[in-house]
């Protein structure tokens, strides 16, 4: 290990990554859990990614109930759409939420549950999910054609790719340490436990 200025390099790398993650993005962060939690997890996900959907359905609820809802972990979701369908779904989630993190997490949950129809009948599925959230067809259409929202989404994705080296979904950063790909609750917990003070 090379020491630089009294700090081992990996610690510097993690703190640099943590600082990059904490920089205000073009879109406001959608997060659950206290801002002062001991551990912050960032997930970069695409609405069209099956591994992301499986994680959201099977692993995230356990992380949320055991760590987020108990105040130990702050969980931040960031969009990293891999295709145009995922872009439209991300935009809809932002419009439905209108800045409300709980509404946002509820909408992405619905989108992931509807991933198959979302991929085959994108517009109809988005219209249905929009309608369930109280948006009419026109509002949904205006939302998914919002150039300003699209530009912000693209800016954040470019930043994640170029600065944070995110190139696949899901990608997680647990207190600045990157983990890529599908991960079980047990694996996640093994990474969290050493970071949580007793």
Provide block-wise average pLDDT over 10 residues at a time, the chain (198 residues): 42 77 92 95 97 96 97 97 97 97 97 97 97 96 97 96 95 95 93 86
Selection from 93, 75, 98 nearest residue 170 by Cα: 75
Confidence at residue 8, expressed as pLDDT on a 0 to 100 scale? 43
Confidence at residue 6, expressed as pLDDT on a 0 to 100 scale? 44
pTM for this structure? 0.91
Confidence at residue 11, expressed as pLDDT on a 0 to 100 scale? 45
Burial letters 181-196, b for 16+ CB under 10 A, else e: eebeeeebeebbeeee
Q: Provide the 10 A C-beta neighbour count for residue 13.
A: 14
Selection from 97, 20, 51 nearest residue 89 by Cα: 97
The Cα 139–Cα 71 span in angstroms is: 36
Confidence at residue 182, expressed as pLDDT on a 0 to 100 scale? 87
Confidence at residue 4, expressed as pLDDT on a 0 to 100 scale? 42
Confidence at residue 9, expressed as pLDDT on a 0 to 100 scale? 42
Residue with tokens 């692993």, as numbered in its chain: 59
- How many angstroms separate the most distant Cα atoms in the chain? 59
Confidence at residue 198, expressed as pLDDT on a 0 to 100 scale? 55
- Checking 187-193 for CB contacts under 8 A at 24+ apart, the result is 188/59, 188/63, 189/66, 192/39, 192/67, 192/73
């Amino acid at each position: 290990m090379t020491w630089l200025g009294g700090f081992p390099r990996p610690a510097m790398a993690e703190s640099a990554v943590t600082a990059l993650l904490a920089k205000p993005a073009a879109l406001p962060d959608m997060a659950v859990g206290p801002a002062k939690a001991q551990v912050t997890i960032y997930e970069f996900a695409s609405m069209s990614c099956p591994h992301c959907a499986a994680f959201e359905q099977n692993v995230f609820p356990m992380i949320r109930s055991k760590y987020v809802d108990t105040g130990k972990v702050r969980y931040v979701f960031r969009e990293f759409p891999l295709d145009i369908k995922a872009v439209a779904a991300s935009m809809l989630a932002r419009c439905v939420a209108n800045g409300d993190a709980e509404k946002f997490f509820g909408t992405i949950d619905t989108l992931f549950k509807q991933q198959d129809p979302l991929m085959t009948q994108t517009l109809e599925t988005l219209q249905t999910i929009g309608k369930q959230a109280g948006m009419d067809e026109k509002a949904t259409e205006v939302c998914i054609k919002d150039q300003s929202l699209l530009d912000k989404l693209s800016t954040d994705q470019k930043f994640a790719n170029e600065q944070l080296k995110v190139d696949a979904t899901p990608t997680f950063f647990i207190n600045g340490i990157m983990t890529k790909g599908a991960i079980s609750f047990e694996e996640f917990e093994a990474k969290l436990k050493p970071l949580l003070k007793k």
